[in-house]
Chain A
Amino acid sequence: QVQLVQSGAEVKKPGASVKVSCKAPGDTFASYGITWVRQAPGQGLEWMGWIGASSGTTNYAQQVQGRVTITTDTTTNTAFMELRRLTSEDTAIYYCARVAQDSFDYWGQGTLLIVSS
């Protein structure tokens, strides 16, 4: 069973930045991409972006383009999602997931982000 382990809950003020981590098994980034999906309270799933295997190619959803950066650190087998210029609308649970066969086959446990003054 592949486990993706995410960092803990965060509380941030409007205008601040947050960086969420997602630790994956050792071979993940060589062969698989990582995507980030968020879910606002009581709402559905919203795709944010992804980073491809090996090449590190990224693509982001229009809604967060310019505010989000997804990276990987192959030395620690960790993926990161940084979101800047936070507003209350960014309050959500953030999930990382492994990309395989054009689907998201394993998911992290989720990281709650609360943006509040």
Chain B
Amino acid sequence: QSVLTQPPSASGTPGQRVTISCSGSNSNIGSNPVNWYQQLPGTAPRLLIYSDSQRPSGVPDRFSGSKSGTSGSLAIRGLQSEDEAVYYCAAWDDRLNGIWVFGGGTKLTVL
């Protein structure tokens, strides 16, 4: 069971906007930045969003992140077929001298 809670699946049609939620607690999202990773089939994860809402260079501005309290959210606008992937949220957790925790992942299907 993952420390951060994500919906197992999400879907949308090309051009739509979809959001993926990530719920945590005061010891992780409530007091530390949220990061999002994209994992395309058969590949290593890729950093998509860091520090709640920042995009690394090369990540399209169709991807955006936000945080409120102990929950984070990833939004994808103008959905494209190549966005079909599994998305993971992660955050530093202040318990046990500090650990990183992941969400269970959300499989995004582009219909």
Show the binding face of A for B, using Cβ within 8 Å: 35, 37, 44-47, 50, 59, 61-62, 95, 97, 101-110
Contact = CB atoms under 8 A, between A and B. Distances in A.
B72 interface: no
Interface of B: 2, 32-33, 35, 37, 39, 44-47, 50-51, 56, 86, 88, 90, 92, 96-105
B50 A101 contact: yes
Given A59-B97, A105-B56, A107-B45, A46 B32 contact: no
Contact of B37 (A35, A45, A101, A110): A45
Given A45-B45, A95-B44, A107-B45, A102 B50 contact: yes
A106 B46 CA distance: 7
Contacts of B97: 59
Contact of A50 (B37, B96, B100): B100
Contact of B47 (A44, A61, A105, A110): A105
Nearest to B104: A44
A104 B101 CA distance: 12
B47 A45 contact: no
Contacts of B92: 102
